[in-house]
Structure 1
Amino acid sequence: MPSTSPEPVAAPLRQRAQPPRAVRRPEAGLRWAELRPADAPELARLVTRMELVDQPPYRTTEAEMAEYFEDSHVVSALGGRDEVGTLRAFGFVRLRRGEVSLLRAVCSGGVDPVWRRRGVGSALLDWQVDRARQLLVETGLDVPARIVVHVDENMPDLAGLLERAGFTPRRWYTQMRRDLSLAIPEVVLGPALRLEPWSPALDDAARRAHNTAFSDHWGSQPQTAEAWTQGRTYFAPEWSFVVLDRTTDRSPVAGYLISARYEQDWPALGWTEGYTEVMGVLREWRGRHVGSALLAAAMRAYAADGMQYAGLDVDADNPTGARTLYERLGYEPTHGSTMYSIEI
């Protein structure tokens, strides 16, 4: 299995990244132009055509495509249109602002099924890699960096394309679900620990707790206040919770759980679910049932709203042993994905 740690930095980022002076746009029979937020509706229609063929376990909405342009990221996006102006391919390269010790240029995109196997995908990937190298260097930082693509397990053609382009599988993730018709455990927290519903007043404290809790996770970078609050189109505050330590008046956040409601995914999944977007427990409170209490509270909230399952995603190498906790609470794997990268 390849190493999952960033490669040691042996030279300045510009030398390691080797950005081209100019990036040539793909050819492959399409007319290419920069994409902007106003293109989100057309992008969503293209993605819908792709997903009807590829059948991933989710469906992408126009609102989610609009999130790709949010200013919490540096964004470079390109679209290819056919002779009548229909969008047939697109590619994004996105760098989240505020990353300090590791830079990640995340690439995403795709090609209309009727335009596949004409060299469009490989030409678009070449543009993304070159543009990613440029954007990484333009940050002015001299830290480890990587170019990233996430691949669902049912996409072997994309995996092969990435490997031929120099990408390597680096990280593996598992989607899991928990049947809410089963008994949900009662979890008793220790003295002074209090489970609280999410509220706007606790949101930034949860962000700061998240940055601390994930500081020992592979590749994790601190979230700015702006990045933390963006990308929340499907945020479900009524399904989200925090645990506070009331030992002192300061009442720090010991753990937090943020949920989302992706109704558009339910037909593709074949069931309804409440989705745990992110959960964290700070180191000094680990081993005190904080994570179990948060998950149980979320499961009850999901079930009260008629959901059939609780869903979440887990990194195979999570250092906190999260998968063991999920399995103990009845979560079972459903499908997976892989992070491919070029380490710079």
Structure 2
Amino acid sequence: MHETSHAMTWVPIGPYQSKEILRLVRAIEENDGTPYRSSHEEILDYFDPAHFWRATAARDYSGKLIAFGLTRTPIVHGPNVEVILSGGVHPDFRGNGAGRQLLGMQLATAEQLVQGESESAVAVMHVDSGNPDLEDLLVRAGFSVSSSYAQMRKPLAEFEAHMEVPSFVTIEPYTQALSEDVRKAHNAIYVEEFARPALTPAQWAAERQYTDIPWSFVAVDRRGDRPRVAGYLLSGRFEQDWESFGWSEGYIQEVAVQHEWRGRNIMRALLGNAMTSYQNDGIEFAGLDADIHPDPAQSNVALFERLGFERTGTTNIYARNLDVRAGNLLRR
């Protein structure tokens, strides 16, 4: 610890300071041993115009950025709103109350963002395992664990590349021409089964900016005059993470099969095509995040373990309800 809390100055911050934010975020990631490294493009995505956002930073007496916090929520949303909190304090300046101050400011901003805008709202923060100080801070601020997901990986030397699917289903490369149909399939699955808000075309395009097109595939039912999307697999290629991993990895951003086509090996076929494409590019592992369900029989972790993936880490999602009484919405 180098500074006391009264030596810090809190200021607004934004995309014009993105490289400075990246240096701070990287220092936090390296100190905390996270298995990933943020890129400059990901920092710029913090300020995506599809979201309302507020960013706050602390500087020391010399002007050095020593803390950063982002509060943001989608402009287009349903009756139940998630406000995502992220950020952190430089390792050299921890223990002086900066984290507590930052979280307090983020919560105040979050409540201003959702006043009068929804039926209910919740502040959410993702916390990787092995971060007890942050978890304790959140619990003392009224947060609790709402859900968790596991990081999983599979060696590409250990997978079955070929899997039979019905003759009327083809596994095809993901293309822009198929993108809108895949978006609709995504919404059909996540809105109906998980009660998550539908993604608009603009939100879908923003989500897909990190999708690696050559590593992504779509299962198409070719019966009838109009082909239908039976399932899809979207991949990411985050090369900035590979050095910290110690290996190269094709990351499965999302793999899903619509209800009508389940039980027909389509997910296995999509995984096989993706992992073949990873391996052809010299990649060593496939990785993904899988939701953890309280009932192991319903857990996606168990599903992917049966497919040969191993669990390597856990992230807890901490949540706290927000007051949504009517008021004026903050704008960027």
Using structure 2 for the length normalisation, give the TM-score. 0.91
- Alignment match, 2:234: 258
For residues 320 and 210 of structure 1, what CA distance do their matches in structure 2 show? 20
- Alignment match, 1:207: 183
Say whether residues 1:126 and 2:104 are aligned partners.
yes
- Alignment match, 2:66: 88
CA contact (8 A) 2:88 2:99 kept: yes
Report deviation, 1:181.
Answer: 1.0
Say whether residues 1:166 and 2:118 are aligned partners.
no
- Alignment match, 1:247: 223
**Aligned Cα root-mean-square deviation (Å):** 1.7
- Alignment match, 2:327: none
CA contact (8 A) 1:58 1:268 kept: yes
Report deviation, 1:317.
Answer: 2.3
For residues 123 and 105 of structure 1, what CA distance do their matches in structure 2 show? 18
Alignment partner for residue 200 of structure 2, among 221, 224, 227?
A: 224
Structure 1: segments with no counterpart, 5+ residues:
1-26
For residues 323 and 249 of structure 1, what CA distance do their matches in structure 2 show? 37
Deviates more, 1:287-296 or 1:155-164: 287-296
Report deviation, 1:152.
Answer: 0.2
CA contact (8 A) 1:78 1:91 kept: yes
CA contact (8 A) 1:292 1:325 kept: no
CA contact (8 A) 1:179 1:308 kept: yes
Report deviation, 1:264.
Answer: 0.8
For residues 224 and 80 of structure 2, what CA distance do their matches in structure 1 show? 35
Report deviation, 1:216.
Answer: 4.1
Alignment partner for residue 304 of structure 1, among 268, 272, 280?
A: 280
Instruction: Give 3-state SS (helix, strand or coil) of 2:7's partner.
Output: coil
Change in CA separation of 1:219 and 1:144 when aligned onto 2, cut-off 3 Å? farther
Instruction: Give 3-state SS (helix, strand or coil) of 1:230's partner.
Output: helix
For residues 259 and 189 of structure 1, what CA distance do their matches in structure 2 show? 21
Structure 2: segments with no counterpart, 5+ residues:
323-332
Using structure 1 for the length normalisation, give the TM-score. 0.88
Change in CA separation of 1:282 and 1:231 when aligned onto 2, cut-off 3 Å? closer
Change in CA separation of 1:168 and 1:183 when aligned onto 2, cut-off 3 Å? closer
Task: Spell out, residue by residue over 1:277-315, the C-alpha distance to the aligned partner (whole angstroms, 9 max, x if none).
Answer: 111211111222211111111111111111111000011
CA contact (8 A) 1:184 1:300 kept: no
Report deviation, 1:218.
Answer: 4.1
Change in CA separation of 1:322 and 1:153 when aligned onto 2, cut-off 3 Å? same
Alignment partner for residue 314 of structure 1, among 282, 290, 315?
A: 290
For residues 55 and 103 of structure 2, what CA distance do their matches in structure 1 show? 12
**Counterparts in 2 of 1:1-344, with a 5 A limit?**
28-137=6-115, 140-141=117-118, 143-218=119-194, 220-317=196-293, 322-344=300-322
For residues 209 and 14 of structure 2, what CA distance do their matches in structure 1 show? 19
